[in-house]
Structure 1
Amino acid sequence: MSDKKFITDSGIVIKQVYDQPVEMTEQPGQFPFTRGVHAAMYRDRLWTMRQYAGFSTAEESNKRYHYLLSQGVMGLSVAFDLPTQIGYDSDHAMSEGEVGKVGVAIDSLEDMERLFADIQLQDISTSMTINATGFILLAFYIALAKKQGADIKKISGTIQNDILKEYAARGTYIYPPEPSMRIITDIFEYCSKEVPKWNTISISGYHIREAGSNAVQELAFTLANGKAYLQAAIAKGLDINVFAQRLSFFFNAHNNLFEEVAKFRAARRMWAHITKELGATDPKAQMLRFHTQTGGSTLTAQQPQNNIVRVAIQAMAAVMGGTQSLHTNGYDEALSLPTEEAATIALRTQQIVAFESGITQTADPLAGSFFVESLTNEMEAAAQKLMDKIDVMGGAVKAIEQGFIQDEIARSAYTYNKEIEDGSKIIVGVNKFTSKEMSDTPVFKIDDSIRQVQMEKLQQLRGKRDAAKAAASLEAIKQCALGTENLMPAVIEAVENLCTLGEIADTLRGVWGEYKG
């Protein structure tokens, strides 16, 4: 026997051999869904292949969407720029230097119309990575669908809408936690009646992991946030068997293939028990459905083509773990937004896994592996221990307010980076197998002149709209916020009257203030 110790980033000790027999009684598609949410999994239907894209203006992003659709993408994923994420129009002073940089600038319904020009919303599934202003972007999307003549009861997609992880890990929040949770439950309520195919929240572990957590922490903190959303919706009087069917999750996939597979399997099992304990009896309300993105923080600027291999391993982990949707990162994303070439290679990676690897031919291909089954159990036990601590504190909101989750993530990030610095953790091309040659990878750049383009559009919009209708719409939003009426109908009416994202966000700032952290 070797004396050498192997420990995952989550602190789980890996034994030299796993030889305990594993009794397999559960089947895919059956509670608690450890082995997958569908009986046949990818034998019947592949996961949705998405590519996360959005940059510059709506017109430029629209060109990339048409290109990706022509290459075989099955659903669109929209990245928004920082001002859009935190509720500022492109002409606001706070937007300077950020317009169109990390995503597309969307200030109005007209921008949304340009973004989806010649794309019928009823025919595609769209995922929007947006949180604090998610309700406004959803209103833009619904208003555009109506304008296209779509039946909004048939449009499908997802808004991330996960504000708790913003307080804990990412920082693009606007309002304090309590009114933010009110917005989220208003979205649950509105969509359950009006847009029943829409996934009203994508509870995100992705950004928790990107902030430095390990896999166990990602699992525990994500499910704790999910539990808080369930409890908030139940407190509002919503039926868990209805709204929980439209909840989805968003996880990260890193390089430790078996730990990642075990994480996904444990997540389904744990969520099934959480929902059941809170009163869910419909199997569809007990299922954890999730989107995966390969790990952005694992990509290196050194020897960037190595990232193609990393992304392939991470994509395989997501598929063997049973994901419903997948985005694969471009190999150049440690340097810039992905070029068309990098985006195409990332998509081809998914297609090769789907059609050439054989992984999709059976449900839960690693089931029964002594190693994977043991690791699944260990991941669950470690995550449950963390969740129990959070429950004692009073739940995820209280744990965030007390700084517990933030401190745990920071501690994990410090340990990970220290191990890279001292060489105990090897990152190929960074601290071992390095090269002095400089990378000549092409870099995708966004010009600062984009802001001027957006400012001119805003000036034209404000000049042609009915100012009285716009003002009345903003006042209606204010009155809703002061009372208990659902916000979504008023926000949809406001965007149809060409109120801007910043104007709507500012109206609510006037009622609720801003959260300073």
Structure 2
Amino acid sequence: MEKKIRTDSGIEIRPLYATPLPMNEMPGEFPFTRGIHASMYRDKLWTMRQYAGFSTAEESNKRYHYLLGQGVSGLSVAFDLPTQIGYDSDHAMAEGEVGKVGVAIDSLEDMEILFAGIELEKVSTSMTINATAFILLALYIALAKKQGADLQKISGTIQNDILKEYAARGTFIYPPQPSMRLITDIFDYCSREVPKWNTISISGYHIREAGANAVQELAFTLSNGKAYLKAAQAVGLDINVFAKRLSFFFNAHNHLFEEVAKFRAARNMWAHITKELGATDPKAQMLRFHTQTGGSTLTAQQPHNNIVRVAVQTLAATLGGTQSLHTNGYDEAISLPTEAAARIALRTQQIIGYESGIADTVDPLAGSYYVESLTKEVETRAWELISKIDAMGGSVSAIEQGFIQDEIAQSAYQYQQEIENGEKIIVGVNKFTVKEEPDTDVFRIDDSIRKVQSEKLENLRGRRDNKKVTSLLEAIAARAQTPENLMPLVVEAVENYCTLGEIADSLRNVWGEYRGI
């Protein structure tokens, strides 16, 4: 018998409330507008993640244990810039960046330290990594094997969304075509070896951070998703298998109702896209997504105001039916979050999840004339943009022609103009300002981290079997010139302590580097 849920006044809350409007599909059923699960949060709350990673693996490991102790239900790893673009910490290009925006990972030794005391079979891990996603995934798998974990049971996500890097963020290495090949290699390998792993998190988050509006975020993200589906099908993969392991990553901004509408429209649109491309299994038609509150909405002025912004954005994500959520620290416009800020961000999720009542019924805003109408309008405008991209030959072609980049740039410019002329109010920035003293309680990373990592690398290279390392790097370069899957060799390479930079370079020598348009 299902547990009865009541308000504080004793009013029983039904699992589902009907809406008289045309969008009255049932949650858990195609096209999933109202949610991908019939009961949504009544049975289980969203996964509460906190994005963390900085300095060395040792320091990040301490933060992970702190967060797990505070009640997070999933880890989310941030990597430093050299790791993101395939350079070891001792490379000249890494100077000044090691450990700054995330943790530095150079080899399996760092990965072992990063997750020391954490059983990978018992935790879900999300890794925000793209150009080098294939290497970080290999490192995670190698570590799981060393721990004796059952690879059929380990779960998590790699972002692995290279198209949005070309369009909005810039941490790419190789040209688009070989980059897409790496992605389909991961799809194929994981479908056999790590079936519970989410092989891509198609990201609207960074598109939005670059200046896109909600409609553009939705349209460009789904267009990229469509490109990944077609690329996988082109190499013979079954959409009913690999599409089940695709997930999405969206931004949550301050316009509560438009954000809820965006999330509801996204599920509906993706269901139709996958069905059109041949998906018949409902789980291959579902859009599952992680959300992060909007980094670009945070202000350095009156930073405590950001606590309220993050709470509003948390409501948007959860009212919209997200599967997992990261909430930003209030001080992130100034520095990496302090432990205190990270705790408040997590408590925001916990208070909303356990105290607000929004988890008691499925799709709480269904039937609102405003929300239903807004959902339809967002969807209509997003389809118009997708049609333009399709006419250009799809996302890859639209990116190569600069269309998506130009659209984002125009939107960003318009938004900034509205702030500067006062048409759009940002509290504490262009209205309700106060004179403030600089905040000295910020989290800083020391440049000495590079020396620490460089010494580790020197020590590692002196102890490993360098003849075996050379052989494996040559094998990776040779296989890159064939259609054979690269992942088994990359896993073997990291198990033999080839470094991230060495593996990335072995492919740079074959494919070259992409310089953009």
Q: TM-score range by the shorter chain?
A: over 0.9
SS in 2 for 1:128: strand
CA contact (8 A) 1:302 1:439 kept: no
**CA-CA distance at 1:153 after TM superposition:** 1.1
Aligned to 2:458: 459
Residue matched to 1:406: 405
Q: Which moved more, 1:308-317 or 1:22-31?
A: 22-31
Q: Could you say which residue in structure 2 is the equivalent of 1:148?
A: 147
- The residue number in structure 2 matching 1:209 is 208
CA distance in 1, matches of 2:440, 2:186: 42
Q: Distance in 2 between matches of 1:244 and 1:334?
A: 36
Partner of 1:239: 238
Alignment of 1:281-360 (within 5 A): 281-360=280-359
Q: Separation in 1 of the partners of 2:477 and 2:80?
A: 26
Tell me which stretches of 4 or more aligned residues in structure 1 moved more than 4 Å: none
Distance 2:467 2:368 in 1: 66
Question: How far apart in 1 are the matches of 2:98 and 2:436?
Answer: 33
State the one-letter code of the partner of 1:406: Q
The residue aligned with 2:381 is 382
- The alignment partner of 2:480 has SS state of helix
- Secondary structure (helix, strand or coil) at the match of 1:359 reads coil
Cα contact 2:127–2:159 (8 A) shared by 1: yes
- Equivalent residue number for residue 516 of structure 1: 515
- 1:265-284 aligned within 5 A: 265-284=264-283
Deviation at 1:439, TM superposition (A): 4.3
Separation in structure 2 between the aligned mates of residue 350 and residue 72 of structure 1, nearest angstrom = 11
Alignment of 1:58 onto 2:57: yes
Counterpart AA for 1:302: Q
Deviation of 1:155 after TM superposition, in Å, equals 0.4
Superposition pairs for residues 123-134 of structure 1, below 5 Å?
Answer: 123-134=122-133
Instruction: Say if 1:481 and 1:508, in contact at 8 Å, map to a contact too.
Output: yes
Paired residue type of 1:214: N
Q: Aligned residue for 1:35?
A: 34
Contact 1:255–1:314 (CA<8 Å) still a contact in 2? yes
- How do 1:176-187 residues align onto structure 2 when only pairs under 5 Å count? 176-187=175-186
Indicate the residue corresponding to 2:249 in structure 1.
250
Shift of 1:24: 5.1
Helix, strand or coil for the counterpart of 1:368? Answer: coil
Q: Which residue of 2 aligns with 1:421?
A: 420
Report the alpha carbon displacement of residue 475 of structure 1 after superposing the two structures with TM.
Answer: 1.1
1:256-309 CA distance string (max 9 Å, x none): 000000000000000000000000000000000000000000000000000000
Amino acid aligned to 2:242: F
CA RMSD for the aligned pairs?
0.8
Q: Distance in 2 between matches of 1:348 and 1:201?
A: 28
- Cα separation, 1, equivalents of 2:500 and 2:508: 12
Counterpart of 2:233, as a letter, is I
Q: CA deviation at 1:442?
A: 1.4
More displaced 10-residue stretch of structure 1: 263-272 or 470-479: 470-479
SS in 2 for 1:250: strand
> Structure 1 stretches of 5 or more lacking a match?
1-19
Deviation per CA, 1:95-126: give whole Å up to 9, x if none.
00000000000000000000000101000000
SS, match of residue 484 in structure 1: coil
Could you tell me how far apart the structure 1 residues matched to 2:298 and 2:221 are? Answer: 23
Contact persistence 2:23–2:372 (CA under 8 A): no
Equivalent-residue separation in structure 1 for 2:372 and 2:506 (angstroms): 51
1:506 paired to 2:505: yes
Equivalent residue number for residue 393 of structure 1: 392
1:169 aligns to what?
A: 168
Structure-1 separation of matches of 2:462 and 2:24: 66
Could you tell me which residue of structure 2 aligns to residue 226 of structure 1? Answer: 225
Superposed displacement of residue 438, structure 1 = 1.9
2-side partners of 1:241 and 1:200: how far apart?
14
Deviations for 1:451-493, whole angstroms, at most 9, x for unmatched residues?
A: 0000000000000000111011101111110111100000000
* 1:149 shift after superposition: 0.4
Q: Does 1:49 align with 2:44?
A: no
2:115 aligned partner, one-letter code: F
Q: How far off is 1:25 after superposition?
A: 3.2
SS of aligned partner of 1:275? helix
Contact 1:332 1:441 in 2 (8 A): no
Q: Distance in 2 between matches of 1:304 and 1:24?
A: 40
Letter aligned with residue 81 of structure 1: D
**2 CA distance for matches of 1:239 and 1:335?**
45
Aligned-pair distance for 1:441? 5.7
Whole-angstrom distance in 2 between the partners of 1:475 and 1:496:
16
Whether contact under 8 Å (1:21, 1:370) holds in the other structure is no
Q: Give the equivalent residue in structure 2 for 1:4.
A: none
Which position in structure 1 is the counterpart of 2:119?
A: 120
Corresponding residue for 1:486? Answer: 485
Partner SS, residue 489 of structure 1: helix
Counterpart position of 1:12:
none
CA distance in 1: counterparts of 2:286 and 2:100, whole angstroms: 36
Q: Cα–Cα, structure 1 residues 441 and 369, in superposed 2: closer, same or farther, change >3 Å?
A: farther
CA contact (8 A) 1:244 1:285 kept: yes
**Separation in structure 2 between the aligned mates of residue 393 and residue 260 of structure 1, nearest angstrom:** 28
Q: Secondary structure at the match of 1:52?
A: strand
1:365 paired to 2:361 = no
Which residue is 1:6 aligned to? none
Give the secondary structure class of the aligned counterpart of 2:291: strand
- In the alignment, the residues of structure 1 paired with residue 475 and residue 506 of structure 2 have an alpha-carbon distance, to the nearest angstrom, of 10
Structure 2 segments unaligned to the other structure (5+ residues):
1-18
**C-alpha separation between the residues in 1 aligned to 2:360 and 2:27?**
14
1:234-265 residue CA offsets vs partner (Å, 9 max, x unmatched): 00100000000000000000000000000000
**What displacement does 1:23 show?**
3.8
